[in-house]
Amino acid sequence: MHGAPLVLYNSLTRSPETFVPIDPANVRVYSCGPTVYHYAHIGNLRAYVFTDTLSRVLTWKGAPLTHVINITDVGHLTSDADAGDDKMEARAKETGQDIWAIAAYYTEAFKRDLGNLNVRPPSNFPLATAHVDEMIAWGREIEAGHCYRLPDGLYFDTASVPDYGTLARSRDDAGTGEARIAAVAGKRNPQDFAIWRTSAPHEHRQMEWDSPWGRGAPGWHLECSVMSRRYLGERFDIHTGGIDHREIHHPNEIAQNQAMSGTCDTGANFWLHNNFVVERAGKMSKSGGGATHLQSLVDAGFHPLSYRLMCLQAHYRSELEFSWENLAAAQTRLKRLVQTVAALRARPPVASAGSAAAYREQLDAAVSDDLNTPRALPVLDALLADKQVSPAERLTALAEFDAVLGLDLTDLTREALRVRPAAATIEAAAVGECLAERREARAAKDFARSDAIRDELAAAGVEVMDGDPLGWDWRIG
């Protein structure tokens, strides 16, 4: 890897550490993926803007990368505390739909959201349901030394590994993470968790497999141990997830990995966690009815990359408060950037008096400091505004910012940013015609006609912005 040393905040040690790849020829990253029973909400999507930033920075700094994002299409219960129904089964019951069709539909929707956010596809999106045999094999392997049977399944005994919960700091932090679990009668320790969930005698799940512990379905945590090892090896570089995973899911993965390897190794050298998107009312959740989806933003007239920019304006370890005002501010900032780039492109070629190299270094310094994107954005502003550097050279340097930040400023146009809200009653072409007619009326000093057109447009929800400093002559508001 080149440039500044990459420092990442490691949740294992709760401190920033210099990242040194295990194998510089293949840096391996695993990101816990979505549970596909519903659309991802914008909080979930922040988790993948974060992993995309990580993967872009690693790639930009010259590290060949293998990145895996799994798809959880079985196993995740409505409570992380091993209680409740499987989220997928619950959704199938509620909608009367086939569970496999639900999984396929929301998996595609998730991939589309990532594409719209300019998140680059990982090397692989493995499905949990395609790895159930391997999960059963893993359970058999660790059963004797680490598990016990209860009527409803096979449970992991968290006292069987030496340092359970180190990642969550659960010993000195009692009470967090679903109040440190229990819920299932007969558990040896409150934090013990299901490796296999045996179906009740007359229960019929849509997704069920035969196993040595009866017909049933795997516990949620097992899939990530199985798929990360399968695709990245027993020891890999970085494991990511939302901050909630630091409390339960990741400590459980670590316990399974330790049971399997017979060592104290957690599996990954670095464990990275993004903080939540919150609304004033509290944390956003997929099951809580108020979740906002990417499509809701588009329907309201926002470009998906405005949301990406909003994410980049906050450090991934800080909470990000979502509000429509903040999103609108991000969209205005994005429009200004697009405007500035268009103006640069229109300038005649000149020789450069200065160099863009310093900006590249500042970008590297910012993102190498635990992916500090809020610090990288003003560097971009400064580069674009530097008159010492020729427009052509500024545009060349811009491509590097695009590679790292994924804002697509090299190709994004003003027209693309003018998203038509779902509720709008007028087509863009019709607005164009009206505006042309209005320009003619004004040129002929027919101000009555010009004002009338303006009023007609206003009635259709189109705001005409005369003398708009952004040159943004209209918008559907």
Cβ pair 239, 30 in contact under 8 A? yes
Binding of residue 369 to ligand AMP (CB under 6 A)? no
Largest pairwise CA distance in the chain: 90
Q: Which is nearer to ligand AMP, 296 or 410 (CB)?
A: 296
> Would you state the torsion angle of the CA atoms of residues 310, 316, 319, 324, taken in this order, to the nearest 10 degrees?
10
224 binds, among Zn ion, ligand AMP, none (CB under 5 to 8 A by kind): Zn ion
At a CB cut-off of 8 Å and minimum separation 6, what does 206 contact? 89, 92, 98, 99, 100
- Which of positions 437-456 make contact with ligand AMP (CB under 6 A)? none
Binding of residue 107 to ligand AMP (CB under 6 A)? no
Among 10, 11, 70, 72, binds ligand AMP (CB under 6 A): 72
Stretch that binds ligand AMP, among 175-183, 242-250, 292-300, 425-433 (CB under 6 A): 242-250
Q: Which is nearer to ligand AMP, 76 or 438 (CB)?
A: 76
SS3 34: coil
* CA–CA distances in Å: residue 88 to residues 3, 37, 221, 459: 44, 5, 15, 45
Cβ pair 103, 65 in contact under 8 A? no
- Can you tell me the distance from the alpha carbon of 312 to that of 316, in angstroms, rounded to the nearest whole number? 8
- Which of positions 174-233 make contact with ligand AMP (CB under 6 A)? none
Q: Is the dihedral of CA 463, 464, 467, 472 positive or negative?
A: positive
Among 35, 191, 256, 269, binds ligand AMP (CB under 6 A): 35
139 binds, among ligand AMP, Zn ion, none (CB under 5 to 8 A by kind): none
Could you tell me how many residues make up the chain? 477
Stretch that binds ligand AMP, among 31-39, 207-215, 341-349, 402-410 (CB under 6 A): 31-39
* Count of residues interacting with ligand AMP (CB under 6 A): 19
Q: What angle do CA 74, 80, 81 make, to 5 degrees?
A: 120
Stretch that binds Zn ion, among 31-39, 79-87, 279-287, 361-369 (CB under 5 A): 31-39
Give the CB-nearest residue to ligand AMP.
Answer: 242
- Can you tell me the distance from the alpha carbon of 313 to that of 309, in angstroms, rounded to the nearest whole number? 6
Among 138, 276, 307, 401, binds ligand AMP (CB under 6 A): 276
Tokens 């912005």 correspond to what residue?
Answer: 465
Q: Closest by alpha carbon to 68, among 137, 127, 132? A: 127
Among 32, 77, 88, 305, binds Zn ion (CB under 5 A): 32
Binding mask 284-323 for ligand AMP (x = CB under 6 A): x-x-------------------------------------
CB burial class (10 A; 0-12, 13-18, 19+) of residue 394? Answer: buried
At a CB cut-off of 8 Å and minimum separation 6, what does 214 contact? 198, 199
CB of 249 to Zn ion, least distance (A): 5
Give the residues lining the site for ligand AMP (CB under 6 A). 32, 34-35, 43-44, 46-47, 72, 76, 241-242, 244-245, 274, 276-277, 283-284, 286
Give the residues lining the site for Zn ion (CB under 5 A). 32, 224
